[in-house]
Structure 1
Amino acid sequence: MNALKQLSPARLGLLVAAAVLLLDQGWKVLFLHGFGWIDTLEQPGNPHQIELLPFFSIVMVWNKGISYGLLQADTAFERWLLAFFALGITGFLIWWLRGIKDTRLALSLGLIIGGAVGNVIDRILYGAVADFFYLHTFDKSTGWYVFNLADTAVVMGVVIMVLDLVISEWRSRTRGAKEDQT
């Protein structure tokens, strides 16, 4: 733990990105190759489902779009366009990370970078992003979208970044109000 405290925020962010990428790709190797679900790439429908909890299942969904299945990339050109767009944003985030002094911001950027790269790897290798995790109601009549570890990391990174911004702004305004009263 002491070694982590000695890391610069930028190195911490890169370490988090690498950890997210390894975990995400590890899960995908397990499901796609270990369970043999890679065979679903060209199949319509979803033949594989494992119910772990009454509200959580492991399923196999190939997402050719971005979040929530938006902007479906049905052609090779569209797939590569999405991949290069994501790589461009990732490159910007890595450049931004280099100058970061704040640990929470570095952590959030690391989560986003690792998740984005994990999904880009899928898009390049398979032409679609492999999603597995499905949260739903007990009767499965209503559910959230199917997602993967990379998606979770990106969302967590954005939430941490927004919360940090809101809390910092609130503290700044609170300090300013106290100074105005004196």
Structure 2
Amino acid sequence: MQAEAGTPLTHAPTPSTVRPRRRTVVVLGLAAGWVVLDQLTKVWAERALTQGEPVQAVGDLLRWHLTYNSGAAFSMGTSLTPVITVVGTVISVAVVWLAFRVRSLPWAVALGLLLGGAVGNQIDRYLREPGPLFGHVVDFIRLPNFAIFNVADIGVTSAAVLIGILALRGLRLDGTREGQEP
């Protein structure tokens, strides 16, 4: 029986009524997969490459070039490694907290990439030489006229672009748009 004339008998779930657990699984599953991919490629790079000796992979477009980065993006802040490590850890914890609240699939993908990339590099900072909080990140992918980076960096950068697009489009974490009731 209808509550009011003209109202539908059933309603399709809106993004805000989707159970957050499904999106949490997307965030955490994508992050875990990204971390595994990042760490496996870093193990490969350290076994297959020699530091400072670039190897052409795709002509002049893509080279493998093993290096160790103690700083942030583009090797900035090399003297701030412990600060970068702590900030990365705080960001990772914040993203996990958001993972339990997200209801939007695009936001879940963005958060999963961000978390996977952040954790991938945090593993290096905690477990690699010269020691915890000071560890150097393994970088090995080189494009022309660009910094050397890794798979974790691809996740963080892709997440930043996606988050920018979602914000510009007004899509919220709960799947609603700016100006729409949650």
TM-score by length of 2: 0.75
1:131 to 119, 129, 139: 139
Question: In the TM superposition, what is the alpha-carbon distance from 1:97 to its structure 2 partner?
Answer: 1.4
2:114 — aligned with what?
Answer: 112
The gaps in structure 2 that reach 5 residues or longer are 1-18, 129-134, 172-176
1:13 — aligned with what?
Answer: 27
Cα pair 1:20 1:114 within 8 Å, conserved:
yes
Aligned residues: 150
The reply to whether residue 35 of structure 1 matches residue 48 of structure 2 is yes
Cα pair 1:80 1:124 within 8 Å, conserved:
no
Cα pair 1:16 1:114 within 8 Å, conserved:
yes
Q: Distance in 2 between matches of 1:162 and 1:8?
A: 23
Q: Distance in 2 between matches of 1:128 and 1:165?
A: 32
Cα RMSD of the aligned pairs, angstroms, is 2.3
Structure 1 residue ranges, 4+ long, deviating more than 4 angstroms after superposition: none
Q: Distance in 2 between matches of 1:133 and 1:109?
A: 23
Question: In the TM superposition, what is the alpha-carbon distance from 1:81 to its structure 2 partner?
Answer: 3.1
Larger gyration radius, structure 1 or structure 2: 2
Give me the identity figure in percent: 25
Question: In the TM superposition, what is the alpha-carbon distance from 1:56 to its structure 2 partner?
Answer: 1.1
The gaps in structure 1 that reach 5 residues or longer are 1-5, 41-45, 137-142, 177-182
Q: Which has the higher helix share?
A: 1
Cα pair 1:51 1:57 within 8 Å, conserved:
yes
